[in-house]
Structure 1
C-alpha cells in the first residue's frame, strides 16, 4: 500500500474524531477528561453495534484487504475494482454497499483510536504535573494497548477470510474495551461525586461475589453468542423451545467447537455438517438459562441496596429484553433489526455488569474500611 493511502486513512481517522473531540471541548462540563472517557465509551458501544451490523450483512469482506479498500483509502477511489467484483458475483462478499459498510466500520474504529490516544496523552501529561488520582495513567495506557490489539484482530479478520475464532476474539476484545472504558468512567464519576456508604453493608460481600460471577458467566455467553454469529448458526435451530422438533437434536460437538478452522469448514477442510451448527446454537441457547439465573439472582441481591438499585433495575430490564430478542430472532427467522438489537443488548449487559461490579467493589471497600474516630482532646484524656 502506498504511503499516500496511509496518510489519507490517517486523516480520515482524525476527521472521524473531530466531532466528538469538538463536543468534549465545547461542553459545559468543567471536567473535560471525564467527558472524553464517557464519549469514548458511547462510541465504542456504537462501534460494537455497527460491527454486529457489518457481520450480519455479510460485509466483513466488503473490502477484501486491510486497512484500505483495494489498496485505496475509500470505496470512491476503488469504484472500478468493486464494480468488477460485483459484476462477477452480484450477491458475493464485495459490493458497493458492503464496501461502504465495512469502511465506515473501520473509519469509526480509527476515530475511537484517536480518542483513546488523546485520553492517554492527557492522562500522562496531567499525571506528571499533579499526580492526581483522577489522571492515573495505567488504565488509559491499557486502553491504548487494547486498541492496538483490536486493530490487529481487525486486520486478521479480513486477511484470514473471516475465520470464526479470529472474528469471535475481535468481538470479545471490543466488549473488553467497552468494559474498561466503563470502569474508568465509573472511577472518574466516583472521584467527582463519591458513592455514599451503604446503610445495609451486611449483604455487600454476597453482591460482590455474585457480580464477579455474573461477569464470568456473561463472558462465556458472549463467546458462545459470537461463535453462533461467526459460524452463521443463528437458524440452526428453527423452533423454540425445542430445537428442530427435539429437546436434544442430533449434534456434532467435535466439529462445532473445533476452534482453529476456516469458515464453514472442518479442521480437515471438509464442509461443516449441519449437526455441528446445531450444536453451536444449542449450547448458546441453553447456556442463556445459566445467564438468566445468575444475572437475575445478582440483580435481586443488589436491589435492596440503594446505591446499587438503579443499576440492578436496568440490568434486570435489559436481561429480560435480551431473552425476548433472542427468542424473536428464531421465531421471526432472523430479521436483521432484531439480530442487531440482540447484539446491542449484549453490549448493554456488559456496561451494566461492569458498573455493578465497580459500585459493589467500592461500597464494599467503604464498608470494610476501619471507622475513623475523632481524637479525644488532651484536656479530656484520663
Structure 2
C-alpha cells in the first residue's frame, strides 16, 4: 500500500474524530476530560451496533484487504476494482454497497482510536502537572493498548477471511472496550460527585457478588452469541422452545466447538456438518436461561437500594428486550432489523452490567469510609 493512501486514511480518521472532539470542546461541561470519556463510550456503543450490521449484511469482506479498499483509501477510488469483482461474482462478498459499509465501519473505528489517543495524552499531561487522581493515566493507557489490539484483530478478520474465532474475538474486544470506557466514565462521575452512603448497606456486598457473577455469565453468553453469528448458525434451530422439533436435537459438539478452523469448514478442511451448527445454536439458546436467572437475581437484590435502582430498572428492560429479540429472530426467520437490535441489546447489557458493578463497588466504598473514620478516634485511645 502506498504511503499516500496511508496518509489519506489517517486524515480520514482525524476527520471522523473532529466532530465529537468539537462537541466536547464547545460543550458547557467544565470537565472536558469526563465529557470526552462518555462521548468515546457512546461512539463505541454505536460502532458495536454498526459492526453487527456489517457482519449481518455479510459485508466483512466488502473490501477484501486492509486497511484500505483494494489498496486505496475509499470505495470511490476503488470503484473500478469493486465493479469488476461484483461483475465476476454478482452474489459474492464484494459489492459497492458492502464496500461502503465495511469502510464506514473502519472510519468510525479510526475516529474512536483518535479519541482514545487524545484521552491518553491528556491524562498523562494533566497527571504530570497536578497528580490529580481524576487524570490517573493507567486506564487511558490500557484503553489505547486495547484499541490497538482491537485494530489488529480487525485486520486479521479480513486477511484470514472471516475465520470465526478471529471475528468472535474482534467482537468481544469491542464489547470489552465499551466496558472499560463505561468503567472509566463511572470513576470520573464518582470523583466529580462522590456517592452518598446507602441507608440500607446490609445487602450491598451480596449485590456486588451477584453483579460480578452477572458479568461472568454475560461474558460467556457473549462469546456463545458471537460464535453463533460468526458461524452463521442463527437459523440452525427453526423452532422455539424446541430445536427443529426436538428438545435435544442431533448435535456435533466436537466440530461445532473446534475453535481454530476456517469459516464453514472443520479443522480437517471438510464442510462443517449442519449438526455442528445446531450444537452452536442450541448451547447459546440454553445458556441464555442461566443468564436470565443470574441477571434477574441481581436486579432483584439491587432494586431496594436507591442508588442502584435506576440501573436495575434499565437492566430489567434490556434483559426483557434481549430475550424478546432473540426469540423473534428465530420466529421471523432472521430479519435484519431484529438481528441488529439483538446485537445492540447485547452491547446495552454490557454497558448496564458494567454500570451496576461500578456503582455497587463505590457504594460499598462509601459505606466503609465513614465506618473507618468513626473507628479511628477509638483506636487512638489508650
TM range (shorter): over 0.9
**Would you say 1:15 and 2:6 are equivalent positions?**
no
Aligned to 2:292: 292
**Would you say 1:86 and 2:81 are equivalent positions?**
no
SS in 2 for 1:261: coil
Deviations 1:103-146 (A, max 9, x none): 00000000000000000000000000001010000000000000
Contact 2:195 2:366 in 1 (8 A): no
Alpha-carbon distance in structure 2 between the residues aligned to 1:310 and 1:257: 38
Deviations 1:171-207 (A, max 9, x none): 0000000000000000001111111101111101100
Alpha-carbon distance in structure 1 between the residues aligned to 2:141 and 2:3: 28
| 1:320-359 to 2 correspondences below 5 Å | 320-359=320-359
Alpha-carbon distance in structure 2 between the residues aligned to 1:373 and 1:17: 48
Aligned to 1:200: 200
Aligned to 2:69: 69
Following TM superposition, where does structure 1 have runs of at least 4 consecutive aligned residues deviating by more than 2 angstroms? 368-376
Alpha-carbon distance in structure 2 between the residues aligned to 1:196 and 1:356: 16
Q: Which moved more, 1:365-374 or 1:103-112?
A: 365-374
Please state how far the C-alpha of 1:366 moved relative to its aligned partner: 2.1
Aligned to 2:318: 318
How many residue pairs were aligned? Answer: 378
Alpha-carbon distance in structure 2 between the residues aligned to 1:236 and 1:259: 18
What are the ranges of 5 or more consecutive residues in structure 1 without an aligned counterpart? none
Please state how far the C-alpha of 1:371 moved relative to its aligned partner: 3.9
**Would you say 1:54 and 2:40 are equivalent positions?**
no
Contact 2:13 2:111 in 1 (8 A): yes
CA RMSD of aligned residues (A): 1.3
Please state how far the C-alpha of 1:374 moved relative to its aligned partner: 10
Q: Which moved more, 1:192-201 or 1:258-267?
A: 192-201
Aligned to 1:29: 29
Alpha-carbon distance in structure 2 between the residues aligned to 1:61 and 1:16: 22
Please state how far the C-alpha of 1:54 moved relative to its aligned partner: 0.1
Aligned to 1:260: 260
What are the ranges of 5 or more consecutive residues in structure 2 without an aligned counterpart? none
Aligned to 1:306: 306
Contact 2:17 2:115 in 1 (8 A): yes
Alpha-carbon distance in structure 2 between the residues aligned to 1:290 and 1:95: 40
Going from structure 1 to structure 2, the CA distance change for 1:375 and 1:203 (only over 3 Å counts) comes to closer
Alpha-carbon distance in structure 1 between the residues aligned to 2:180 and 2:195: 19
Alpha-carbon distance in structure 1 between the residues aligned to 2:375 and 2:144: 44
Aligned to 1:251: 251
Deviations 1:206-259 (A, max 9, x none): 000000000000000000000000000000000100000000000000000000
**Would you say 1:372 and 2:373 are equivalent positions?**
yes
Aligned to 1:172: 172
TM-score (structure 1 length as normaliser): 0.98
Please state how far the C-alpha of 1:364 moved relative to its aligned partner: 1.1
Going from structure 1 to structure 2, the CA distance change for 1:253 and 1:24 (only over 3 Å counts) comes to same
Alpha-carbon distance in structure 2 between the residues aligned to 1:332 and 1:282: 18
TM-score (structure 2 length as normaliser): 0.98
Please state how far the C-alpha of 1:163 moved relative to its aligned partner: 0.1
SS in 2 for 1:102: helix
Deviations 1:43-102 (A, max 9, x none): 000000000000000000000000000000000000000000000111110000000000
Deviations 1:332-354 (A, max 9, x none): 00000000000000000000000
Aligned to 1:96: 96
Alpha-carbon distance in structure 1 between the residues aligned to 2:92 and 2:253: 29
Alpha-carbon distance in structure 2 between the residues aligned to 1:333 and 1:374: 62
Alpha-carbon distance in structure 1 between the residues aligned to 2:16 and 2:374: 53
